Structure 1
Amino acid sequence: MDSRYLGIAELVEAPSVAVVVDVMRAFTVAAWAFAQGAEAIVLAESLDEALAHKARHPDWVALKDGPPAPGFDTVNSPGLLRSVDLGGRTVVQKTTAGTVGALAVKEASLVLCAGFVVAEATARLLRTRGCASVTFVVTGEDGQADEDLACAQYIARRVAGAGTDADEFLRRAAASRATAELAEGVRQGAHPDDVALCLELDRFPFAMVAAWEDPLMVLRPCPVPPPTDEAST
């Protein structure tokens, strides 16, 4: 598989297949939302748009980066979200990097959103679809976030089906600037367990597919076939 690793600003044209990676914390949060029963996640372009969705659909759950804010139900923290019952509900998510990256590739034929918690499922889906060329969108720090790049590179290795030691990739993520900022309390709207939850490998058995459901970009969980003996080595 031919893999490219680009920041959001480097996306000059829509790729055929895109994997948008945000480990700390957008797509770890998204995976937890689905695990907590969410039916769909609407990716909002702005805070105002997220609030407008919430106003039209009071039963939707709106979340954002940073500290709590009027109109939003919760914040972009897996540690906080894991205790919320989202059974059958729609979530509206707006974050600084992850949702921006997904919207930047909305014209792609296949858009996956990923973090370490769904890495293997994401790789299996790419393998199942026979994707020959994949653009990994490294969303954090203008494409320089090492936790996102490490996760993207790990997924690419797993697509090849090769035996891959995840430890080196997780170590890179654990040493990243985003991890330090979360651990030191620099980023608001966080839970003490957020770092550990973001670095939990393959917690969930589904991939996450984003698709344009006019007029919304909607993220949904996608079950994937179990690995074969050859692919799981």
Structure 2
Amino acid sequence: MDTRFLGIAELAEVPPVAVVVDVMRAFTVAAWVFAQGAEKIVLAESLDEALKLKASHPDWAALKDGPPAPGFDMVNSPGLLRSADLGGRTVVQKTTAGTVGALAVKEASLVLCASFVVAEATARLLRTHGRDSVTFVVTGEDGKADEDLACAQYIARRATETGADAADFLRRAGESRAAAELAEGMRQGVHPDDVALCLELDRFPFAMVATVEDSLMILRPCAVLPG
């Protein structure tokens, strides 16, 4: 499998297959949203769009980075989402990097959103589809976030080597700047367990596939059979 690892700004053209990686915390949070029962996630382009979507769909919930804010129901923290009941709901998500990266490749034929908690299911989906060329979008720190790059490299390896060891990749993510900022309370809207939850390998058995539906980019879980 031919792989490329690019930051959002380096995407000169739309790739045929894109895996958009945001470990800390957008796509760890997205997986938790589905685990808490949500039907789908709408990836919003801006905070204003997120609020407008919620205003026109009062039963939807809205989620953002940073501290709580009027109109938003949740913040981008897996630790704070563990007690949420999202059964059957639609969640609108807007984050600094993850949602931006997904929207940047929305025209790709296959868009997967990923983190360590769905790494194996994502790799299996790539294997199942027999993709020859995959672009991994490293969303954090202008493409330099080591937790995202480590996760992307691990998924790429798992897609071709089913016995690949995750230890070094998880170590890199745990030693990343993002992990330190979360652990040291330098970011807002954080739970003390967030870093540990972001480093839980293969917690969930599904991949996450994003498609454009009625001009909105919709993320849904996709069950992937072992093998």
Shorter-chain TM-score tier: over 0.9
Pair 1:131-2:128 in alignment: no
- The residue that corresponds to 2:198 in the other structure is 198
Q: Which amino acid in 2 is paired with 1:201?
A: L
Q: Give the aligned partner of residue 90 of structure 1.
A: 90
Matches within 5 A, 1:82-161: 82-161=82-161
Structure 2 alignment gaps of length 5 or more: none
Match for residue 48 of structure 1?
A: 48
Q: Which amino acid aligns with 1:207?
A: A
1:74-103, CA deviations, whole angstroms, 9 ceiling, x for partnerless residues? 100000011100000000000000000000
Distance 1:118 1:222 in 2: 10
Aligned counterparts, 1:1-233, within 5 A: 1-227=1-227
CA distance in 2, matches of 1:19, 1:91: 21
Distance 1:102 1:75 in 2: 19
Q: Distance in 1 between matches of 2:172 and 2:192?
A: 20
CA RMSD of aligned residues (A): 0.5
- Aligned with 1:136: secondary structure? strand
Deviations 1:165-196 (A, max 9, x none): 10000000000000000000001001000000
Q: How many residues align?
A: 227
Q: Could you state the TM-score of these two structures normalised by the residue count of structure 2? A: 0.99
Normalising by structure 1, we get a TM-score of: 0.97
State the AA in 2 paired with 1:44: A
SS at match of 1:141: helix
CA distance in 2, matches of 1:70, 1:163: 46
Amino acid corresponding to residue 178 of structure 2 in structure 1: A
- Offset, 1:162: 4.0
Other-structure match for 1:231: none
Aligned identity (percent) is 84
Cα distance in 1 for residues equivalent to 2:200 and 2:162: 20
- Could you tell me how far apart the structure 2 residues matched to 1:225 and 1:163 are? 17
Q: Cα 1:226–1:162, aligned 2, differ >3 Å: closer, same or farther? A: closer
Any gaps of 5 or more consecutive residues in structure 1?
A: 228-233
Mapped partners of 1:162, 1:220: distance in 2:
25
- In structure 2, how many angstroms separate the alpha carbons of the residues matched to 1:67 and 1:225? 37
Q: Distance in 1 between matches of 2:74 and 2:6?
A: 30
Aligned-partner Cα distance in 2 for 1:45–1:189: 20
Q: CA deviation at 1:214?
A: 2.0
In 1: Cα distance, 2:60 partner to 2:161 partner: 39
Please report how far the alpha carbon of residue 161 of structure 1 lies from its aligned counterpart in structure 2 after TM superposition: 2.7
